[in-house]
């Protein structure tokens, strides 16, 4: 799959099923409301202060940030990079792509500033 920029669609409501684990095994699932735009999902687990930005196709957590708006902005910024966002393989989503370093810097920058605001 050739790395390319991703056209981020509109955000729409979606429910995510998160595994509830005990001793490393998924015992059940918890439904959590959120939003999705193509390959990106955002949700907040009840009782937590952060929002999770998820790569839905590979079920990979990209990061946790203080606001849903920060997650949306980061998703938009990542969409502008040449990454393999349409893959289901978490190992090649970013690794080896032309904009890997820029993606990692963006994520770090958002994480640094997210909880300061």
Ordered by start, the domain boundaries in the chain are 12-114
Amino acid 22: pLDDT: 74
* pTM, full prediction: 0.88
The pair of three-digit structure tokens given for residue 30, joined into one six-digit string: 């918890």
Amino acid 50: pLDDT: 96
Strands laid side by side in the 12-22 sheet:
12-22, 25-37, 40-43, 51-55, 60-65
Amino acid 5: pLDDT: 79
For residue 103, pLDDT over 70 is answered with yes
Average pLDDT over residues 94-113: 88
Amino acid 37: pLDDT: 97
Give the whole-angstrom CA distance, residue 57 versus residue 38.
9
Amino acid 117: pLDDT: 57
Q: CA geometry: angle at 24 spanning 60 and 87, to 5°?
A: 20
Amino acid 3: pLDDT: 66
Q: Sorting pLDDT into bands at 50, 70 and 90, what band is 84?
A: confident
Question: Looking at residue 1, what DSSP letter applies?
Answer: -
- The string of pLDDT tens digits covering residues 20-78 is 877 767 678 889 999 999 999 999 998 999 999 999 998 889 999 999 999 999 999 99
Amino acid 42: pLDDT: 98
């Amino acid at each position: 799959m050739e790395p390319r920029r991703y056209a981020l669609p509109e955000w729409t409501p979606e429910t995510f099923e998160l595994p509830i684990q005990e001793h490393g095994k998924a015992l059940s699932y918890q439904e959590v409301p959120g939003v999705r735009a193509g390959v990106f999902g955002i949700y907040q687990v009840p009782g937590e202060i952060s929002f999770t930005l998820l790569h839905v196709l590979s079920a990979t957590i990209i990061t946790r940030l203080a606001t849903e708006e920060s997650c949306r902005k980061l998703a938009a910024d990542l969409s502008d990079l040449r990454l393999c966002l349409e893959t289901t393989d978490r190992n090649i989503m970013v690794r080896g792509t032309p904009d890997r370093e820029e993606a990692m810097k963006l994520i770090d920058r958002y994480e640094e500033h997210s909880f300061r605001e």
